[in-house]
Structure 1
Amino acid sequence: MPARVRSVNAGSPEPVPGLKRPSGIHKRPVEVIEVRDPGPKRGGLGSGVVGDAVISRRHHGGTTQAVYAVAREELDWWGEHLGRDLADGMFGENLTTLGLAVDTAEVGERWQVGETLLEVCGPRIPCATFAKHMAERAWVRRFAERGLTGAYLAVLDPGAIRAGDPVEVVHRPGHGLTLPIYFRALMGDRQLAAVLLEAEVLPAAEHAWLLARRS
């Protein structure tokens, strides 16, 4: 089956049990989303999806986290292991995909999605908000151990994305540095961090952050 978008998802600020302030993690399917480069994490537009809420702009949003994609197959895997159905958007993703190898994507890989062009920038790091939203025991540890996080994407060519739009991988760098490798480096694997830094494949801000973290 050709890779495609199963649903496009956006959210408004809503309370999360156990947190003092609302969050934009509650994403629900909508008919269409408009995506664009939101600019810098601080001082920019937040989400790359027009009308989508990003509350904590210190950690979320900005050019290299403009759009978040999760494979429906991964939601189904978790649903089976958690013993509950996980709706599209449950992980806070803007794109729920079918038939796309999201979690083996290389850093810098480019996807043509409908009329847009998106670039894979990095993995999702689980946080307290995600854990409260999921309401599952030891969620951050379990998610990190699984290591298949979905993909944060930059918007190279803006436009509209709808459910059913095809997804085509139009560029794969070939360096083999995939999202799970990057995630393990972010989680403290110094050898993998050194490999990523030496390869110079990360966006500039992320390269600088990983370099500082490794020092």
Structure 2
Amino acid sequence: MSRLLSLNIGRLMAVDYSDRGTTGIDKRPVDGPVAVADPGPQGVAGSGVAGDDIIDRRFHGGDDQAVYAFAREDLDRWERVLGRELPSGVFGENFTTAGVEVNSAVIGERWRVGEVVLEVTSPRIPCRTFAGWMEEKGWVKRFTQDRRPGAFLRVVEPGSVRAGDGITVLSRPDHEVTVEFLFRAMTTESELLPRTLVAIDLINRSYAESIRKRLG
């Protein structure tokens, strides 16, 4: 059964690897229920998950990045690769999923989770804060080469969620641009960028703007 294995929220903590001096990347499981709603525009708003701290709102949070989902199956694989325990939430994800092909989700695909309807908008692009938090040599490059980045989602219908809620795919657009495809196009395989245009109106708006600029 596809389900929300863990619902995670972050609390502000001081760090020396972020130019903001603090981060909310360390997300910990909570029992819930927790409200999920549109947070507002990027640059101003934080997380769509109530109680989840977003510090650097230049690049994180906002309507198109309201929720971040990552598969427990991928965390388990990274545990074997890195030789260390990776608790749910450690990659900064709000939703740790089970039985969901997160990276094969199509941009614009809609999920029902508890009372909430969410829409897939984009992959997560790794940053310096993520690298500093993980303390693994060459982490950004390794994560990028793995090509399983997890997905950002926007809120279509607000409501509450809790760990254990089922995840149901409600609809899936008929195009080829999956989370993994868009990630590859934006990172290591720029020759794929023209093919992302079929989904440009569904993509995270900041990413879509970047794609348009890169294509001229």
TM-score by length of 2: 0.94
Alignment correspondent of 2:102: 102
Alignment correspondent of 2:214: 213
1: CA distance, partners of 2:141 / 2:205: 28
Please give the residue correspondences for 1:175-214 in structure 2 after superposition, counting only pairs within 5 Å: 175-200=175-200, 201-214=202-215
- Structure 1 gap segments, 5+ residues each: none
Alignment correspondent of 1:145: 145
CA drift of 1:169 comes to: 0.6
CA drift of 1:197 comes to: 1.8
Alignment correspondent of 1:7: 6
Q: Choose 179-188 or 97-106, whichever is displaced more.
A: 179-188
SS in 1 for 2:149: coil
Alignment correspondent of 2:22: 22
Alignment correspondent of 1:79: 79
2: CA distance, partners of 1:198 / 1:191: 15
CA drift of 1:125 comes to: 0.4
SS in 1 for 2:148: coil
Alignment correspondent of 1:123: 123
SS in 2 for 1:100: coil
CA drift of 1:76 comes to: 0.2
Conservation of the 8 A alpha-carbon contact between 1:17 and 1:133: no
Alignment correspondent of 2:40: 39
Q: Choose 137-146 or 49-58, whichever is displaced more.
A: 49-58
Query: Could you tell me which amino acid in structure 1 is paired with residue 212 of structure 2?
Result: L
- List per-residue Cα deviations over 1:69-113 (Å, max 9, x = no partner): 000000000000000110000000000010011111010000000
1: CA distance, partners of 2:17 / 2:198: 41
Conservation of the 8 A alpha-carbon contact between 2:43 and 2:59: no
Q: Percent identity, aligned pairs only? A: 46
Please give the residue correspondences for 1:82-93 in structure 2 after superposition, counting only pairs within 5 Å: 82-93=82-93
Alignment correspondent of 1:60: 60
Query: Could you tell me which amino acid in structure 2 is paired with residue 83 of structure 1?
Result: G
Conservation of the 8 A alpha-carbon contact between 2:64 and 2:205: no
1: CA distance, partners of 2:39 / 2:17: 29
Q: Choose 56-65 or 202-211, whichever is displaced more.
A: 202-211
1: CA distance, partners of 2:52 / 2:3: 21
Say if 1:82 and 1:175 are closer, same or farther in 2 by CA, change over 3 A.
same
2: CA distance, partners of 1:19 / 1:160: 31
Say if 1:115 and 1:65 are closer, same or farther in 2 by CA, change over 3 A.
same
- Structure 2 gap segments, 5+ residues each: none
Conservation of the 8 A alpha-carbon contact between 2:17 and 2:128: no
Structure 1 ranges of 4+ moved more than 6 A: none
- List per-residue Cα deviations over 1:5-51 (Å, max 9, x = no partner): 1110001111235445010101000111211001101223x111111
Q: Choose 9-18 or 131-140, whichever is displaced more.
A: 9-18
Conservation of the 8 A alpha-carbon contact between 2:23 and 2:54: yes
Cα RMSD after superposing both structures: 1.4
